[in-house]
A and B are shown apart, each in its own frame.
Chain A
Amino acid sequence: MRQVFGRPKSLTDAPTHYCPGCSHGIIHRLIAEVIDELDVRENTVGIAPVGCGVLAYDYFDCDFVEASHGRAPAVATGIKRTVPDSVVFCYQGDGDLASIGAAEIIHAATRGEKITVVFVNNATYGMTGGQMAPTTLLGQKTTTSPRGRDAGSAGYPIRVAELLSSLSGVAYISRVSVTSPANVIKAKRALKEAFKVQINKKGFSLVEFLSTCPINWGMSPLEAMKWVDEKMSVYYPLGDYTQVPEVSR
């Protein structure tokens, strides 16, 4: 009997700790499939964040480093500058990347570090229990914005893909979601492109995933997927954001 579907080699068989309906599992799988298809598992070093992805090193079957909160791009820089032929990817959430690690991501991007960042934006701090994130939408209720995020006191959600796309060191940025089979296929294509850009030493690459957090959003998994399509994707439009002309790079 021919096997047509199975676990990617780059994933371990450890059961994940992710909540039902959370997109981390799909995103993990897509990363593992891309690593397998590019045949770089033995060459890859992943950087886990602080946040729900903190235990990612248990789920991927490649070398892994756990970084402090927000510093994954700096840690990745240290690794990549030591082993230039390795494939280095950071797995970061929105609090990690867009709040406490804002400086590290901007400078890794502007230096054109040849790393790939998987940015998981679920508009909340999942692991600590659903506090307001830098990407929490206006009006969105969280445990630290109980009346809904108010721009007057909490400011506006950050559009990371757009923000970073202005930097000349960036070679590829895309924003994707995994709310439908069609979106999953597009997301995987973007992810593969991001890894290829790194392997071809073109510069910094990042894929922003709009992701779900049904538990902290207080929704069913299905409602959460719908909320990504109807709310998040409006403020955070999907697509490629690499607009820096080649000539300026």
Chain B
Amino acid sequence: MSEKVLMKGNEAIAEGAILAGCRHFFGYPITPQNEIPEYMSRRMPEVGGVFLQAESEVAGGNMVYGAACAGARVMTTSSSPGISLMQEAISYMAGAELPCVLVNIVRGGPGLGGIQGAQSDYFQATKGGGHGDYRLIVLAPSSVQELMDLTIEAFDLADIYRNPVMILGDAILGQMMEPVVLRERSKINLPPKTWATIGAKGRPKNIISSLRLDPGELEKHNLALQEKYKRITDEQVRYTTYMASDAETLLVAYGTSARVAQAAIDMARERGLKAGLFRPVSLWPFPYDDLKTIALGSRRVLTVEMSHGQMIEDVRLAILGGRPIHFYCRTGGMTPTPREVLNEIERIVEEGI
């Protein structure tokens, strides 16, 4: 299986999930990700899976919780306002250490916002979102191929770490079409789900709960979670670079912004300006150390986002004043153009900062 097919980003996520062995999908319609539930409603019965349209994102998230309790490879997808409604279930799943894959095809906010692509849910995805001290593994694809590949991998990561994994896309990635190679999933050994609640036949009962009324117990549980998060931080940092080795101006961007940034870098290079790109793929764990090393090899950093400065806080934490950090953004569903980003590169180079 290595044929190349033209696919919409949203469909690539759906088919990627099928390839990964996901057989349970629960979701509620919301633009701009409706192709995913539509695709799943068609596809799941073909592969003997379950598609269920929930009555709300609140219920959908909790159906995912239930299916994950029963050991299913399970996914839900939504867009910003719907993801806000799912935060209850997400916090519970993080607390109960349940594997699942969540997809946020981000649209502009706050509130009902709009339906065009944005990156304004970075804080929600990487810094919590729901209540309590927890982390999601957050992966940020920037092409249709990567939407599929990272979705496939997300299921394994979820099972390995018993943790929810979020794919953070946006309306542009979800709606664009690109050629995709459908790849067989590389088989890895996954831990057996001996904890699943499927009936206590031949064993003591299993209980899945995020409740620990004894504060000492709850602290212990939180410490164990933190240990797990440390392990994920050690093992799952991902990023790519583009012409970064000799870059004097290092752009930092993810997802759609990274594509724009890359085009701007090509234009800058044509003009003799040494620009390069650092693209975090794992937004949590964020590649602090690698970004620092590469940024210190440049003269200045320019963070490009489709939000009013969310990832930039992690960029600052990585570089800790080691280099000047500039910022360019368009928001509300507007996308920066390569020309705008090039202008910004030229401006900061000219000003010598």
Contacts and interface: CB of A to CB of B under 8 A. Distances in A.
Does chain A bind chain B? yes
Nearest to B197: A63
B65 interface: yes
A104 B63 CA distance: 10
Given A61-B205, A65-B69, A82-B24, A74 B199 contact: no
B50 interface: yes
Nearest to B88: A68
B92 interface: yes
Contact of A63 (B24, B52, B72, B199): B199
Interface in A153-173: none
Contacts of B26: 78
A10 to B, nearest CB: 10
B209 interface: yes
Interface stretch (B53-61, B181-189, B246-254): B53-61
Interface string B47-78: 00010101110111011111111111010000
A183 B265 CA distance: 78
A22 interface: no
Interface size class, chain A: 35 or more
Contacts of A45: 69-70, 197-199
Given A42-B202, A63-B200, A104-B55, A82 B208 contact: no
A213 B92 CA distance: 29
A67 B70 contact: no
- From DSSP, what is the main secondary structure of chain B's interface residues? mixed
A236 interface: no
B266 to A, nearest CB: 47
Given A103-B56, A107-B55, A42 B199 contact: yes
Interface residues of B, number: 39
Contacts of B72: 78, 82
A83 B89 CA distance: 20
A67 B198 contact: no
Interface in B190-233: 197-202, 205-211
A44 B59 contact: no
Contacts of A60: 205
A64 B89 contact: no
B200 A78 contact: no
Contacts of B69: 45, 65, 75, 78-79
Interface string A21-54: 0000000000000000000011111011000001
Given A74-B62, A75-B69, A82-B72, 10 more contacts: A45-B70, A48-B209, A75-B65, A77-B63, A78-B63, A78-B69, A82-B66, A86-B199, A103-B56, A104-B62
List of 5 A-B pairs having minimum Cβ-Cβ separation, nearest first: A78-B66, A66-B209, A74-B62, A82-B70, A78-B67
20 contacts: A42-B200, A44-B200, A48-B209, A64-B206, A64-B207, A65-B208, A66-B96, A67-B62, A68-B89, A76-B66, A78-B68, A81-B24, A81-B63, A81-B66, A82-B72, A86-B70, A86-B198, A103-B55, A103-B59, A107-B55
